[in-house]
Structure formats: structure tokens, C-alpha cells
Amino acid sequence: MYEHPKHFYEFDGFRLNVTERLLQLSDEVVPLTPKVLDTLLILVENTGHVMGKDELMQALWPDSYVEESSLTQNISLLRRALRERRDGGQYIETVPKRGYRFVAEVREFGGSNGALVTSELAAAPVPRKSEASLPGSKENSLEPAIATPSPARRFPVVRAYVAAFAGCVILLPAFGIYWSRQNRAARAAFAPRSIAVLPFKTIGPEGDADLLGLGMADALIIKLSRLHQASVLPTSSIFKYTKREKDALAIAKDLGVDAILDGTLQRDGGRVRVTVQLLDARDGKTVWAGKFDERYENIFRLQDSLSEQMAAALVQQSNSRPRVASYVTENGEAYRAYLTGLYFWNKRSKDNLPKAIEYLEQAVEKDANFALAHAFLADCYYLAAVNSPDPDKPETLRRANNEVTRALQLDENSAEAHTVKAGLMLDEGNFFGAEQQYRRAFELNPSYALAHLRYGYWLFGATRLDEAVDQMRRAQELDPVSPVANIALAFVLYEARDFDGAIEKLKKALELQPDSATARFNLGSAYVQKRMFAEAHAEFAKLKDTDPLLFAEGEAHAYAAGGRRTEALRMLSQLLEPKNRERVSPYSYAMIYAALADKDTAFQWLRRIPPSRSMSAKLQYDPEMDSLRTDPRFCEALKPHLNALSAR
């Protein structure tokens, strides 16, 4: 905790009393937790400067490791407490890829009589020490000028250098011993902030060897993710490395993690031998290693033993302890079915979702107490319901609710189940309850990428775009090789008008999943906003054979935005054919007509859009609607969606 002089700050009617640690608005106290107040104080003291996320986290939690989501939550609570500025803006600005900046004009008072000591903190950034002492800056330099010695004094100077050199030679062995000890101590205290667990390499007969190696990795991920010491990449991130061509360090670099767990698994008759090591991704040196030898029928005991020792190795330098691990299963057939179902679930496609449901149903049939399998089965039904025809949706949702209820009965501490529950509550219109479920999931597993991703969509629907970007960015950091996470982050970056950032993430998504029509279409749309029409048309052209309607929609918008009206109307005529009208959203038609400067027709289509929270946000943020926002009819078109946003 910082020690502050006895003074206070004022901005826009707020008074931050440092001495009493109070934030007041007029005569009312604004309730803030101690850590949130510390966050505000650091930002206010650095008004006008960008405070990096790492810098803020180090200042707020200097002696412990916390997830970035803790900082994000503090910023979110602050924004709620401060509300909007008088000019409609926010006090805390998110600077993409850097951090946060307090942007209000702040006055600082100090001394016993409360004298004004700084008239305006936000007028111009004050140079930091590193800026004030740049080489060549004479007036800021604290070092005296060094004169060249005269010939008469050179000999004593040479003798001094020789003596210094001799001293260094004498001290060098001692320094070497000291450095070696320090290096070993640093290695022993190595506490990675992010870890990837690779599928164990299997040696010996094939068969289900790959599944066994993946199962070992999955068991470790489940347990290690409950440590609040490090972010553990989910199983979905490491599926692709089951049959790997790269070495562990190259994979660590691809995934952007601090450490990587690499292991081998050898099955010899009725026994399994496992060798595992945790590698520092910076230099490839071994931080921890272990060997295990168990009977094959006790593979689950082996997984427990290994994960518990890994957990102990990671928390030995802190006072925290891992949460109690969930019961997984001791039924080998159930576990194999679960892993196969998880593989298909991870693909998130219409074709693979039924396969995931089939295998996960087998898993819960083999072991009715397999909570994690129930949770993922619930999620499969939830995803199917979102895309189901209206007549089928109620039954699919009923199954999702049954499965998630069973999962929570078996394991109330399942972050996966709480995340599904949040989505189901959101579908029912219980927005507050959904947010509570997401927060519960974060408490249980701060590293669960899917919870951050879906909460990001929740925040976007609540028109809290900056926070949505933060959550989506966290999801992508936790699951960097997920096409879904990269596409989701690109979506909110696009809405925040960071088109370059969106393009970068969409290209990454297409590297991971070249056949993703969503990523391809969104990349073309981002190019349109950059007025890179040749690149946009090239991306849309790749959709012509696989998704003709999406191709026509993208081309119509690109031609309209580029001023090629004839070509735009030709593509639009295809979209307006009777067989296509029900398959193209009213929003798409409105977007194209807006680009054609046909506002009357654009508003006709806007009025046909069913009210929803997400559409309220889309209409308020989407750059494609810019040409319509100054028209008085836009407020009328937006009103039903705002009503949906305020409904609780």
C-alpha cells in the first residue's frame, strides 16, 4: 500500500480524500472497496498518462499474483461508481493493447490549510524520470560533466584502472558463486503466469494411445486451472498438438506462454510409465520434473498423483492453495467418450455438435456422476438451441437446463456449469442473474476462457464496449489458438473501430480455421471500413462457392461503400429474391441501403429488426450505421431495442 501526503483531489464535483480514504460526490460518500479506491487513486495521481495493465497490477498487488480479470473488475466497478462525465464521456479511457488513462481535469489540494498545490493535472503529461534524463539533455542531467584528463594526470588514471581491473579479477570467482546461487534461487522460485500442458507423447503400441496421452493432459489442465497462481490454457488449445511436428519450446512460443509441461507416456502390458517436466519457455531449462510408474487400471490415480505434485510445485512459493478438485470419473469408457465429445464440441460447428452430443451422452450414461460431462453436454444443447428452428428450441433448452442442473447438483464448484447457466438465464431475459453466474465462474476458475468470451458478449449487449474488449482480449489470451476466441475479439475491436486490430485477429482465425465463413466475411467487412476495396472483394470472392448468400451480401456492401452503385444493385437484386428474403437479416439490407445513401429504404428495414439487447449495442456502435445516426428517425428505430436493454 502506498503512503500518501495529507491532501485530496477534485474533479467534476467528486472529491477524493486521500487522508480519510473516501470518495465523495457533493456531500454523499460513494461506496468503494479498498482495492477499487486504490485503483482510482493511482489513476488520478497519473491523470493524463497511460497506466499499463502490468504496472497497475504490480502497484495494486505487489506481493501476490492475480489474474488480469481482477484489474478489469476494479475498472468496471469504478466506471459504475463514477458514471458518465458531464459531457457524456467516461472518466477512465481504455487504450488498446496498453492500459488505462484517467482523462478528467483534476485539481490537487494539500497542506494543513488545503491550499491548491496543482492547478491542473491533466493539461499536459509531466515527463517521467526516464524522459527527464535522456542522453544529451543537459538541463535535466544530474551528472557532472566529465573532463578529459590532462597528459600530466594520465599516468595516475592508468594506475587506477589497473588497480580496478586487478580487483575485478580477484572478485570474479566470488561473483560467479554468488550469481550461480542467485540463478538457482530464481529458478526455484520460478512462478509462471501462464502454462500450456501438451498432450503426452505415447511410446509403444498404438490403439487408444493418443487418447490416453490427451487424457493425461486434460486431467492436469482441469486440476491446474483451479490454481489461482497461473493461467492454464484449456484443453481446446492443445488438441491440435496430439500429433505434433514442433518441439515443446516452439509450441510455447506459438501459444505465448511462460512455461510448458511436456511428458511421455509408455504403456507396457498392465503398467504405465510417465515422465514429465515443466520447462521455462524463456530458455528451455527444466523447472520441475517427475517420474511415475503405475498399473494401467489405476490410470486415474496416476493422474491425481501427477497433478497434485504439479500443484504443490507451483504454489510452494506462496500461501495460496489449489481449490479442491472436482470428481471427474474412474470409468475408462466414460472418460474416453467424454474426451471424444470434447473434441467435437471444440469445433463449434453445426455438423460436429450432434457428434459431441452423442459422445457426451455416452459418457453420462456410463457414469451418471460425471459432472464435467453433464456440463459440456448442457453446453452442446445450449449451442444447439441458439441455432435451432423455433419449434425445436423449447425442447433443446429443456434438455440443456436438465443437464446443467444435474452438473451443479454434482459439483457446485464447476465453472463450466455456471457458464452454461449464465447463457440459459440470458436467453430467459434474466440479465442480472446471468452476470452473477459469469462472476461465479470467474471466482471458481479465472482461467476459463469461455466464461470471459461469453461475458464479453454480455457486456457488449449492455453497451459496455470497453469492458467487452477487455474480456474478449482476456479470452483470446487464455485460448490463443481458438478460432472462436480470435473471431470474438475481432468483432468487438471492429465495433470499437480498431480495424487494424480486428484484421490481425481475423487473419489469425483464418490461419487456424481456413474454412471459417464468419472470419472471412468479417475480414472483408473490416477491409471495407479501411477502404481497402480490392482486398475486401478478394475475401468475399472466396465465399462464392461455399456460401453464395454471404458472398452476395459482402459484395453488395463493398460495391455500395466504394461508390459502384450499378454493381451494388446487381448483387442486391440477388439478395431480394423471394427464396433469399427469409435467409438474409433485415440488418444486412439496412446496412447496404445505408451505404447506397437510400435512407428511406434503410429505415424501412431497420424497423423490421426484432428488439434485442445485442441489436441495441450494434445499432449504437456499428460504423456501418454512421450515415443514419444524424437522422431523427434513427432514435425512433433504436427505441424498441433500448427498451429491451433496460428490461430486467
CATH number assigned to the domain comprising residue 222: 3.40.50.10070
Site of grid cell 435512407: 599
In a domain, 309, yes or no: yes
Please give the Cα distance from 424 to 458 (Å, whole number).
12
User: Over 50: is that where the pLDDT of 147 sits?
Assistant: no
Mean pLDDT over all residues of the chain? 79
Is 361 in the same domain as 472? yes
* Pairwise CA distance, residues 637 & 445, whole Å: 40
Q: 522 and 406, same structural domain? A: yes
Q: Domain containing 59 — which CATH number?
A: 1.10.10.10
Q: Is residue 391 part of a domain?
A: yes
Pairing of strands 22-25, 28-29: antiparallel
Enclosing domain of residue 264: 194-325
Query: What pLDDT digit, counting tens, does each position of 426-459 carry?
Result: 989 899 999 999 999 998 888 889 999 999 999 9
> Are 354 and 482 contained in the same domain?
yes
pLDDT over 70 percentage in the chain:
76
Residue 580 within any structural domain of the chain: no
Same domain, 80 and 221: no
pLDDT cut 90: percent of the chain above it: 38
Q: Which three cell numbers stand for residue 269?
A: 502390458
Q: Are residues 266 and 354 in the same domain?
A: no
Report yes or no on 430 lying in a domain: yes
Residue 330 region, left (φ>0) first, then alpha (ψ -120 to 50), else beta?
Answer: alpha
Q: Does residue 133 lie within any of the structural domains?
A: no
The one-character DSSP state at 85 is -
Answer yes or no: do 174 and 207 share one domain.
Answer: no
Of 308, 325, 342, the position where a domain reaches its end is: 325
pLDDT on residue 645: 64
Query: Residue 180 pLDDT > 50, yes or no?
Result: no
Considering the entire predicted model, what is its pTM? 0.66
* CATH code of residue 433: 1.25.40.10
Q: What is the mean pLDDT of residues 34-62?
A: 85
255 and 341 together in one domain: no
Q: If you search the block for the grid coordinates 454471404, which residue do you land on?
A: 550
Specify if 566 maps to a domain.
Answer: no
Contact assessment for residue 287 and residue 187, using Cβ atoms and an 8 Å cutoff: yes
- 85 and 102 part of one domain: yes
185-199, 301-315, 386-400, 579-593: the lowest-pLDDT one: 301-315
Torsion-angle region of 622 (φ positive above 0: left; ψ -120 to 50: alpha; else: beta): beta
Considering the domain architecture, whether residues 383 and 522 belong to the same structural domain is answered as yes
Quick check: 226 pLDDT over 90?
no
Please state which of the ranges 211-215, 218-222, 245-249, 393-397 shows the lowest mean pLDDT: 211-215
The pLDDT assigned to 296 comes to 65
Is 514 found in the same domain as 389? yes
DSSP state of 232: E
pLDDT band at 312 (very low <50, low <70, confident <90, very high): low
pLDDT of residue 65: 53
Q: Are residues 370 and 313 in the same domain?
A: no
Say what the pLDDT of residue 642 is. Answer: 78
Q: How many CA atoms lie within 13 A of 619 on its CB side?
A: 30
Residues 387/350, Cβ–Cβ less than 8 Å: yes
Distance CA 621, CA 614 (A): 11
Residue closest to 24 by CA, chosen among 46, 2, 8: 8
**pLDDT of amino acid 69:** 65
**pLDDT at residue 285 above 60?**
yes
User: pLDDT (tens digit, 9 = 90+) per residue, 490-536?
Assistant: 999 999 999 999 999 999 999 988 999 999 999 999 999 999 999 99
Whether residue 140 lies inside any domain: the answer is no
Across 51-60, 145-154, 542-551, 609-618, the highest mean pLDDT is recorded for: 542-551
- Number of domain units in the chain: 5
Among the ranges given (14-23, 170-179, 501-510, 556-565), the one the predictor scored with the smallest mean pLDDT? 170-179
Residues 514 and 393 occupy one common structural domain: yes
pLDDT in tens, 87-138: 667 889 888 878 899 988 888 876 444 444 333 333 333 233 332 232 333 3
Q: CA 406, 408, 410, 415: dihedral to nearest 10 degrees?
A: 130
* HSE-up (13 A, CA, CB side) for residue 348: 15
In a domain, 107, yes or no: yes
